[in-house]
Structure 1
Amino acid sequence: MLTMNGITFTYPHAPEPLFENVDVAFPVGWTAVLGDNGIGKSTLMAIARGNALPDAGTVAPDPRRMIIGYCPQDTAVAPDNLEDFAVDWSPEAIAIRDDLGVADDWPYRYAQLSGGQQKRLQIACAMAMRPDALILDEPTNHVDAEAREHIIAAMRRYRGIGVAVSHDVKLIDATCVRCVMFERRHVSSRNMTVVTTLRGGYSEASQQVALRDGADTARADALQREAGRLAAVKAQRFAKVQQVESRKQHGERIDRRDHDARNRRQLAKMTGLDRGVTRAYSQLDGRLAAVKRQTEEISSPAKRYEGTIWMDIKPAHCREIVRLEPSLIRFGETAGDDEPMPSLCHAIQTGNRIRISLPENGDTATGLMIPAISIGPRDHVAVTGPNGAGKSSLVAALLAHAVDVPRLTIAQNTTDEDRNDAMNRLFALPAETRAQVLNAYARLDANPDRLLASGRPSPGELRKLLLCLALPSGPQLIVLDEPTNHLDLTSKKALARMLAEYPGALIVVSHDEWFLDLAGFGQETVAR
């Protein structure tokens, strides 16, 4: 078991900790780590691996005394043991290759592989280390449905401590027996990160969260009703106290010959009526304060923002943004112009979907046959297909033939250079424009305060920031390659809603059918 106790971490110059006093244990078997982008999941994993030091807390056993396999989010990072894996033909390595569908030549051409193929090879190399603990950070980014099944099979074979940082519901439900959930919750008048461990996969853990939140809401409502009742009683008691005080203040005016009035005042003093009313009134203050404290101690999900972000963007004033004639797109230097190319992928456009299929003979594809493709200034088009089918090559051809309009292109992978450039661009904006960008960023389920404090957006946060930074220029063409990579589920919903409302031309490459349907790609293209 890998145990982390009292872990607190703060970015340099940040006004508050990223998380504090986190207690979590990872036993043998698979544990999912869930939470919003930038909430601290990858940072906690870096601490678990010994690659980052916490402000406080302990990790046991010492990570330096363990073999910890790690698969990063970024597929551009080639595994350190890639060459060793290439020549490892032990039974364990062969089983890993079979589970993940890794071809023998993949280790020798890592840079030429698709993102999904690189991801599978990253996981294979991590597993081949025979680690005590295996941490997979977003293991299904870039992969198609078939590759996901390969990854699930490999994860099920692993018998050590497994941690999957993921937003893939299908993967988590198929492999994980517990979930460690990071949540931003409102507690005691402030937002803070709360980390809880729940049994089961994503679906079961989500049900537990829903039941807990429902119980918390019911308890908060009951306390509010009790506070209202006590406030009403307090008002009644206050009126009685006022009457008592009035009698005290005007007692001297009682006519000496009014024996009845004098007797009533004396009886009140003898029976303690004045004292009882005042005491009961004071006790109500204490009971009201106790109810308010209990109400503040109840946690609730931090507020999320919704709304449109497109401001005054208008579609281009042209008939077509992109047009491609029927043609063959060759992959790399696979063949000369006059040589036959029997292993071809084929693209078919139906409505607002361009679907690409692999060669029927099962050989490695050497090119892509495309039909005539026309994309208008308001059209939204999704490009789908398995890894290695040529989706990125098609997008490159579409961009090469696009008319000259303001555009935004976000690639599958982002780099440290992209992150630094994005933050520099953000801080260079005029104050009013920067406020608009950060407002849009918040509406994509992100935290502007945390972004400004850390200056280090996570890969998911960076994708949101790159989109929002383009808004002031009014892009009339947006091209997103695997936009849901690194995004948490709530962010996927927010992004899908925003893209569905985008008034310009949109090209999205994705394996995520759930996201595409939510973003409006499940229907035939209609004039807009």
Structure 2
Amino acid sequence: MQPITLSLSNITFTYPTADSPLFAQANCTFPQGWTAVLGDNGIGKSTLMAIARGKLRPDSGQVSPNNLVLSYCPQDIAVRPVNLEDFAADWQPETIRIRERLGIEDDWAYRYDTLSGGERKRLQIACALILNPDVLILDEPTNHVDEPTQQAIIEVMRNYQGIGIVVSHDVTLIDATCTRCIMFERRHVNGRNLTEIITYQGNYSQATQQKHCNDRAASQRLADARKEISRLESAQSQRFAKVQQIESAKQHGERINPKDHDARNRRNLAKMTGLDAGVSRSYAQLNGRLAKVRQTGEAISTASKRYDGNIWLNIEPSSRRELIRLKSEVIPFNKQLLPEQLKDKSLTMAAQSSNVIRLNPPQDGEAPQGVKIPLISIGPRDHLAIIGPNGAGKTTLIRAMIDAAIDIPMLVIQQNTTLADTERAMTLLHGLSQADKSMVLSAYAQLNADPDRLLQGEVASPGELRKLLLCLGLVSKPQLIVMDEPTNHLDLNSKVAFARTLGSYPGALIIVSHDDWFVRQLTAANGSH
């Protein structure tokens, strides 16, 4: 059987209300194996995937071949798979293998609405796989899932043999599964910002190395072009002055002293050798070279500028030696239970190493009834990450820490936000003084967000709302920040900005995260803090 490739050729797409195309003449191919599709939120990734699936029709261009079986797993876990009942009744050997790889229980398909986010995601992927598709598209498959679910998803992705496309911001997932990356990039060309779709070989870590090398090379080519333009403009100015001097002499006549033999000889030599014409010809040639170099410089595409500043101006850590102290104890999930009523075999065990607390639930698979913690002490500059599977007790531990932080200026940002949270944030923003509003919007821009879209009334996405809530918190100058899953819904450039920003925060920081890459970046940054 010949390998198949999905090709999108010369795709141009414009939304009905937009003034310009979202992308124009875009080309990309998807061979067998896994390809990651990356880019900022709102840049067009999901739109391109909808075109690939035939759900949207482009202004121009084509998708080929058009007879492939495509299966799509949406980002939203609330979307029930259309073939859920078929999956529930399917006990073929391959379906059983999919169930086993994803750890799907027999009754899950009959109680979809009661499942956790990670369980629903496993079912969505399983239902997509049993269709035996030529092309499988996964949209943010690891949002809201814990490490075991992430690893299960990685395993089934590795076993899939068709054309795999994953739209994701999960570096761990991409590095473990993908051999190509297609990146939507904001580029600067001839004074304009454009979106380009660029293909890189390798996983995310390898692709970003190539991208950085290409960006450096493009910046150097642009610098060289500008240097050459400056040199040629200087030479052009000198030759233009010479041409003007010759033309002036022709028009007004050059009176030469009869006794100035050298001047008379220069004039005669110029007439004999055609020097006048040579200067003019040289000037014209220089014009052509200059125009060509300018054209080359205008065509060079460089990475658009991103903000890279410090948003924590005028924020000082607490003068206390210790902000939070929790003694070694058992914290029951049910407050009606006493710690002594719980046995170790029913507990999550918390273990701390360096800047990370890992929660390990009971080995027998039973749901834990509490979490057993060591002595935990958090100082005014400490940065701490709490990790572990869903249901292990991270929320319980966070609540205990917040309760223990008495009289500390604190900012707490929860994992799940609502439209009401967005409305309250916008009300707070518009109620600020002009100076505070400018500070908040400047910080918002440095987190890879667009303040203009916010001020124009566009509803902030969940990821953008997280950025706004963090920036609004600057006004109260918090000495402790607590964030639950800060990278959910964030694109990779925003994750980088978040890691850089939170890593440089001068106060105490506690995060809960399933994002292994983000935790490594943040704890590494704190190591040099």
TM-score range, shorter chain: 0.7 to 0.9
Question: Cα 1:393–1:75, aligned 2, differ >3 Å: closer, same or farther?
Answer: farther
What secondary structure does 1:103 align onto? coil
Match of 2:28 in 1: 24
Please give the alpha-carbon distance, in whole angstroms, between the structure 1 residues aligned to 2:401 and 2:115.
Answer: 21
1:190-245 Cα deviation digits (max 9, x unpaired) = 11110022333334433443443344344334433433442343244234324423
Q: 1:4 aligns with which of 8, 26, 44?
A: 8
Within the alignment, does 1:463 sit opposite 2:463 as a pair?
no
Cα distance change of structure 1 residues 425 and 126 upon mapping to structure 2, 3 Å threshold: farther
Shift of 1:184: 1.1
1:381 pairs, out of 358, 380, 384, with 384
Shift of the 463–94 alpha-carbon distance from structure 1 to 2, 3 Å rule, reads: farther
1:410 partnered with 2:425: no
User: What's the secondary structure of 1:134's corresponding residue?
Assistant: strand
The letter for the 2-side match of 1:475 is P
Indicate conservation of the 8 Å contact 2:77/2:121, yes or no: yes
Q: Report the equivalent of 1:176.
A: 178
Say whether residues 1:284 and 2:295 are aligned partners. no
Looking at structure 2, the residues matched to 240 and 234 of structure 1 have their Cα atoms a distance apart, in angstroms, of 10
2 CA distance for matches of 1:46 and 1:406?
A: 45
Aligned to 2:156: 154
1:48 matched to 2:45: no
Could you tell me which residue of structure 1 aligns to residue 38 of structure 2?
A: 34
Query: Paired residue for 1:275, among 266, 277, 296?
Result: 277
Structure 1 residue 315: deviation in Å?
4.4
Q: Which one scores higher on RCO, CA 8 angstroms, separation ≥ 6?
A: 1
Residue identity opposite 2:42 in structure 1: G
- Alignment RMSD: 4.0
Q: 1:324 to 1:169 in 2, by over 3 A?
A: closer
- After TM superposition, list the pairs within 5 Å mapping 1:97-496 onto structure 2: 97-107=99-109, 115-251=117-253, 253-254=255-256, 265=267, 268-269=270-271, 271-315=273-317, 321-322=323-324, 324=326, 326-330=329-333, 342-350=345-353, 352-400=355-403, 402-403=405-406, 406-414=409-417, 418=421, 422=425, 426=429, 431-449=434-452, 455=458, 457-496=460-499
Single out whichever of 201-210 and 160-169 deviates more from structure 2. 201-210
Inter-partner Cα distance in structure 1 for 2:453 and 2:9: 24
Q: Which amino acid letter does the alignment assign opposite residue 8 of structure 2?
A: M
> Residue type of the partner of 1:390?
G
| Contact 1:13 1:454 (C-alpha < 8 Å) held by counterparts | no
Structure 2 residue runs of 5 or longer lacking an equivalent are none
- Which whole-Å CA distance do the structure 2 matches of 1:110 and 1:366 have between them? 24
Q: Distance in 2 between matches of 1:8 and 1:415?
A: 34
- In 1, Cα distance between equivalents of 2:15 and 2:424: 20
Deviation, structure 1 residue 509: 1.0
What is the total number of aligned residue pairs between the two structures? 524
- Equivalent of residue 515 in structure 1, options 515, 518, 527: 518
Q: Secondary structure at the match of 1:39?
A: coil
Distance 2:210 2:520 in 1: 27
The answer to which of 233-242 and 186-195 deviates more is 233-242
Q: Does the CA contact (< 8 Å) of 1:347 and 1:369 recur in 2?
A: yes
| Superposed counterparts of 1:60-99, under 5 Å | 67-72=70-75, 74-75=76-77, 79=81, 81-82=83-84, 85-99=87-101
Q: Judging changes above 3 Å, is the alpha-carbon distance between structure 1 residues 213 and 338 closer, same or farther for their aligned structure 2 residues?
A: closer
Deviates more, 1:291-300 or 1:115-124: 115-124
Q: Residues of 2 paired with 1:89 and 1:367: CA distance?
A: 37
Shift of 1:432: 4.2
Instruction: Measure the CA separation in 2 of the matches of 1:375 and 1:493.
Output: 25
Instruction: Measure how far apart 1:151 and its partner are.
Output: 1.4
Task: Give the TM-score, by structure 2 length.
Answer: 0.83
Q: CA deviation at 1:340?
A: 7.0
The one-letter code matched in structure 2 to 1:71 is P
Q: How far is 1:317 from its partner?
A: 7.0
Moved more, 78-87 or 26-35: 78-87
